[in-house]
Amino acid sequence: MFILIVIAYVIISKKAKKQATSIHQIKEGTKGKGNKSDLTYQKLYLYYKKIPFLNRYVNKMRRRLEIINLDDEYTTRIQTSKIITKGMAIVIPLTIAIILTTKQNFLLMTILLFFEVILIESRMSGMVDKIDTKLLKQQIDFFAEVRHAYHEYNMVEEAIYQAAQNDELEVSRQAEKIYEILQSDDPEDELEKYYDVAPNSYLKEFAGISYLTREFGDRKVDTGSLYLKNLNNITQEMQLEILKRDKLDYVFQSLSLIAALPVICIEPLKNWCLTNFSFTANFYSGKGGLIAQIALILLTVICYILIRKIKDNGSIKDSYKDPNQTWQVKLYKNPLVKKVVDLFIPKQRTKEYRKNIQLLKDAASNQKMETLYINRIVVCVLTFFVSLFLFGQIHKVAVNYVYEQPTTDYNLITASESAVKSGMEITLSDNVYLDMYKGKPKITKEKIEQDLQYSTEYRNKTSDEISEAAERIFKKLTIVNSESLQWFEMLMALLFAVIGYYVPMWLLIFQKKMRQLEMENEVMQFHTIIMMLMKIERVNVEMILEWMERYSNIFREPISKCLNNYESGAWEALEELKNDISFKQMEQIVESLQAAVEKIPIADAFDELDTERAYYQEKRKESNERLISKKGLIGKGIGFAPMVCLFVGYLIIPLVVIGLSSMTSSFDSMQKMM
């Protein structure tokens, strides 16, 4: 025991010393920064890393921020800690509010807490997108400083070095990296590595143009520097992108909240209805209300996810992930799982296999075929068991309603306290007989009436009262005995499982449709790339295709295929590329490239791009306006759908239907009394 205590003491001492050293280093770094709050965020970062569930989000956030900060561990930790702290500031009050409003409904509470995880994760992702947009705005000022420094030094690398002296800006770290690349022994190889980690395509273009200018030299074009003119083209592209993102943020700033708000309002709205309209208790407290709640929450989750995908502005994605380290790949390595999944994956060279591969490419997804089918199978299995669980809960709610709600005739008049108390006494009395007869489907109303006659409670009652009580108990007993899993519910669970199996495919199709809206935007970016390259000496068609592939998203696959076949025949490869695409403006670019291969110089093939630059700029703006308008229209329709369903489907329709039914029953009772 003494030896074990000594060993434990040594281990704890080492850990404490290591943590003290780490905090000391943080303090030293913070002194240089001159910001006391940074030390707090650095300490919080260390605490967040120790929390089991939270460290997953910490690692996810820092992987994305590392792309922007490029080896700046200090800033990466601060930004990660800030995002997690802001997320926690939303999570904690929201969790408390959900628990307080749904404490009587454990199922609804669980669903809402699960939805909260999705909500917060997308919220933190949006915070990273804001940092990416901030970097894009810093690049505008940075390029202006590069322009001034280039006028002074007339050297690309020196201009970049001078403009990168502001250490407080994220763009300065990118500039330092580009400067190191240009000064390295093998800049071309280092540049290819940078392309894989650059946070946006505009920095890729800037790094590539800077390298080409350093290698081949600058030249005068229209009484000006070609390098500065290309820098101006990139700046104009960034300005258009910033305007597009700002407009998208403005259009969608409230839609995500509107789409998510109905799930928070379900329970308060239900309580308001029960308080003011007692005749709605049969619906809201029964299984009909639970089914409506589940449908509304499911619709809200779907609409919220679609809103996030529609708003997608092309900033930093999850492509930083190693595709071989996902949980799907690790699961697929299991031999048993691999055998099962391979049964569902279509055979290679089949039509279905090629169709799925093409869908993944069109949707710009980094999934593999194996991960796609693992997702489909997992969603299918989970949907089946969750459906069975929900069916069981629905039956349980129906039985609990019989056992727990006051027995009374609901009408349009709010029940008094005495009526509720009297109804609860009848319920407790009926529960004794329900427990006695439960699970006995052969019990008849006559048998119940006979037993009531000999019971102590009903011994002095009239025959009409006994008959009425037997009728009431028999109806309740029929509900209790029938509320069990039925065969058609198994079929419904299987149907839902099949729908769940196709959900990942439908999301890819939706993502593909959203990508197609941006086709014209991508072609306009190709115009800018060609304008920058066509007047540089030694640039050929193959190099233009390489640049187009590097910055493409929608057309990447056909361009890659063209480059692979380029050596076997340039004109034929371009002809195949033209056949693979079905967008007129992209076909015009390919036809110009074909002319540049065999007939005329590249500058002559694309001379209209230079002469009609102003027209293309206006067309690009108009294209962005149409894109934002289409996305806004689709987003508003999807975003307001849950709110409309909440008020129309969950409030108005039940009130009207149940109210009319209660009114009819009341009139019938009054006529019988008359």
Q: Each residue of 495-526: pLDDT tens digit?
A: 999 999 999 999 888 888 777 777 777 888 88
Q: Are residues 265 and 217 in the same domain?
A: yes
Q: Are residues 459 and 543 in the same domain?
A: no
* Interatomic CA distance for residues 646 and 474, integer angstroms: 35
Mapped onto helix, strand or coil, the DSSP state of residue 188 is helix
pLDDT for the residue 25? 52
- From 403, 593, 559, 384, select the one nearest 483 (Cα to Cα): 403
Half-sphere exposure of 15 (CA within 13 A, CB side): 6
Q: Are residues 412 and 425 in the same domain?
A: yes
* Domains held by the chain: number: 3
Q: Are residues 250 and 159 in the same domain?
A: yes
Q: Considering the domain boundaries, does residue 260 fall inside one? A: yes
Residue 551 and residue 525 in contact, taking contact as beta carbons nearer than 8 Å: yes
Q: Are residues 601 and 664 in the same domain?
A: no
* Interatomic CA distance for residues 27 and 46, integer angstroms: 13
* Interatomic CA distance for residues 175 and 157, integer angstroms: 10
Q: Considering the domain boundaries, does residue 85 fall inside one? A: no
Residue 549 and residue 564 in contact, taking contact as beta carbons nearer than 8 Å: no
Give me 5's structure tokens: 């205590």
Q: Considering the domain boundaries, does residue 493 fall inside one? A: yes
pLDDT for the residue 347? 87
Mapped onto helix, strand or coil, the DSSP state of residue 358 is helix
- From 624, 659, 665, 552, select the one nearest 243 (Cα to Cα): 624
pLDDT for the residue 309? 78
pLDDT for the residue 17? 55
Q: Are residues 663 and 637 in the same domain?
A: yes
DSSP H helical segments within 51-186, as ranges? Answer: 54-69, 73-101, 106-153, 156-163, 170-183
pLDDT for the residue 240? 85
| Residues in Cβ contact with 410 at an 8 Å cutoff, skipping those fewer than 6 apart | 278, 279, 281, 282, 662
* Interatomic CA distance for residues 184 and 85, integer angstroms: 40
- From 563, 529, 527, select the one nearest 546 (Cα to Cα): 563
Q: Considering the domain boundaries, does residue 192 fall inside one? A: yes
Q: Considering the domain boundaries, does residue 93 fall inside one? A: no
Give me 43's structure tokens: 């300490």
User: End of a domain among 590, 605, 620?
Assistant: 605
pLDDT for the residue 2? 58
Q: Considering the domain boundaries, does residue 529 fall inside one? A: no
* Interatomic CA distance for residues 368 and 351, integer angstroms: 17
Q: Are residues 598 and 621 in the same domain?
A: no
Q: State the residue range of the domain holding 349.
A: 323-514
Residue 225 sits at φ, ψ, to 5 deg, of: -80, 135
Q: Considering the domain boundaries, does residue 17 fall inside one? A: no
For the chain, residues with pLDDT lower than 70 are 1-6, 8-36, 71, 107, 167-168, 223, 312-325, 408-417, 419-420, 610-611, 613, 662, 665-674
* Interatomic CA distance for residues 399 and 390, integer angstroms: 14
* Interatomic CA distance for residues 229 and 223, integer angstroms: 10
User: End of a domain among 514, 543, 572?
Assistant: 514
Q: Are residues 277 and 142 in the same domain?
A: yes
User: End of a domain among 483, 514, 545?
Assistant: 514
Q: Are residues 316 and 327 in the same domain?
A: no
Q: Are residues 491 and 405 in the same domain?
A: yes
Q: Are residues 635 and 599 in the same domain?
A: no
Residue with tokens 């010393």: 17
pLDDT for the residue 4? 63
Q: Considering the domain boundaries, does residue 525 fall inside one? A: no
Residue 225 pairs in a beta bridge with 220
Rounded to a whole number of angstroms, the CA Rg of the chain reads 34
* Interatomic CA distance for residues 35 and 269, integer angstroms: 47
pLDDT for the residue 327? 77
Maximum distance among all alpha carbons in the chain?
Answer: 113
pLDDT for the residue 440? 77
Q: Are residues 188 and 310 in the same domain?
A: yes
Give, for 264, the enclosing helix (H) or strand (E): helix 255-276
pLDDT for the residue 383? 92
Residue 476 and residue 430 in contact, taking contact as beta carbons nearer than 8 Å: yes
